[in-house]
Structure 1
Amino acid sequence: MDCQRKLFDIPDGVTYLNAAYMGPLLKSAAEIGEKALRKKLTPWDLPISDFFGPPNRFYELSAKLIDANPDDIAIVPSVSYGTAIAAKNIAVKSGQNIVVMADQFPSNVYAWRELAENSNAEIITVPWPDDGDWTSAILNTINDQTVIVATANAHWTNGSYIDLVAVGKKTRTVGASLVLDLTQTLGVVPFSVKDIDPDYMVTGGYKWLLGPYSFGMLYVAPRNQGGKPIEESWITRKGAEDFAKLVDYKDEYEPGARRFDMGEKSNFINVPMANEALEVMLGFGIDHIAAYLKTLTDYIAERARKIGLNVADDKFRVPNLIGINFDDGVPEHLPKVLSDNKVFVSIRGNSIRVSPHIYNDKSDVDRLFDVLESAL
Structure 2
Amino acid sequence: MSELTVTQLKTFCKKADFNLEDYHYLNGAYMSPLPMVTEQAGIEGMRRKRIPMHLTKEHFFSYRRLIRERFAQLIHGESSENIAILPSVSYGLSIIANNTPCNDKKNIILVEDEFPSVYYTWEKYCRRHQAELIVIKRPVEVENRGSLWSQAIIDAIDENTHVVSVGNIHWQDGSLFDLKRIAEKAHAYGALLVIDATQSVGAIDIDIKQLNPYALLASSYKTLLGPYSMAIGYFSDPLCSGEPLEENWINRNFSDRFAELTHYQDHYRQGAERFDVGESSNFILTPMLAESLKLLIDWDVRKIQQYCQYLTNYLSGKLQAFNIPLIGNRDRGCHYLGIEISQFDPDVLVAELETSRIIASVRGDFMRISLHVYNNIDDCDALIDAFKAVLSRRTHRATHADVTEVSE
Smaller-chain TM-score range? Answer: over 0.9
Are positions 1:147 and 2:147 aligned together?
no
Are positions 1:82 and 2:92 aligned together?
yes
Alpha-carbon distance, 1:327 to partner = 4.4
Structure 1 residues 247, 322: closer, same or farther in 2, change over 3 A? same
2:29 to 20, 37, 40: 20
Alignment partners' CA distance in 1, 2:350 and 2:367: 9
SS in 2 for 1:347: strand
2:297 to 243, 263, 282: 282
SS in 2 for 1:202: strand
SS in 2 for 1:333: helix
Alignment partners' CA distance in 2, 1:224 and 1:237: 17
Q: Name the larger-Rg structure.
A: 2
Are positions 1:260 and 2:275 aligned together?
yes
In structure 1, give the amino acid aligned to 2:350: P
**Does the CA-based 8 Å contact 1:330-1:352 persist in structure 2?**
no
Identity of aligned residues (%): 35
Alpha-carbon distance, 1:317 to partner = 1.1
Per the alignment, residue 57 of structure 1 pairs with 66
In structure 2, give the amino acid aligned to 1:346: S
SS in 2 for 1:103: coil
Alpha-carbon distance, 1:337 to partner = 2.3
**Does the CA-based 8 Å contact 1:329-1:350 persist in structure 2?**
no
In structure 2, give the amino acid aligned to 1:345: A
In structure 2, give the amino acid aligned to 1:188: A
Structure number with higher helix proportion: 2
Stretches of structure 2 that go unaligned for 5 or more consecutive residues are 1-8, 392-408
**Does the CA-based 8 Å contact 1:188-1:290 persist in structure 2?**
yes
What's the RMSD between the two structures over aligned residues?
A: 1.3
**Does the CA-based 8 Å contact 1:94-1:121 persist in structure 2?**
no
Structure 1 residues 331, 35: closer, same or farther in 2, change over 3 A? same
Alignment partners' CA distance in 2, 1:95 and 1:200: 19
Structure 1 residues 219-368: aligned runs within 5 Å: 219-327=234-342, 331-368=346-383
1:117 to 101, 122, 127: 127
Alignment partners' CA distance in 1, 2:82 and 2:355: 45
Alpha-carbon distance, 1:330 to partner = 6.1
Number of paired residues? 375
In structure 1, give the amino acid aligned to 2:100: I
In structure 2, give the amino acid aligned to 1:121: A
The range that moved more, 331-340 or 260-269, is: 331-340
The range that moved more, 155-164 or 91-100, is: 91-100
In structure 2, give the amino acid aligned to 1:145: N
Alignment partners' CA distance in 2, 1:330 and 1:99: 36
SS in 1 for 2:314: helix
In structure 2, give the amino acid aligned to 1:57: L
Alignment partners' CA distance in 1, 2:202 and 2:122: 26
Alignment partners' CA distance in 1, 2:344 and 2:151: 26
Q: Deviations over 1:117-153 (max 9, x none)?
A: 0111111000012341221011011121111111011
In structure 1, give the amino acid aligned to 2:327: A
**Does the CA-based 8 Å contact 2:105-2:159 persist in structure 1?**
no
**Does the CA-based 8 Å contact 2:356-2:382 persist in structure 1?**
no
SS in 2 for 1:263: coil
Per the alignment, residue 190 of structure 1 pairs with 205
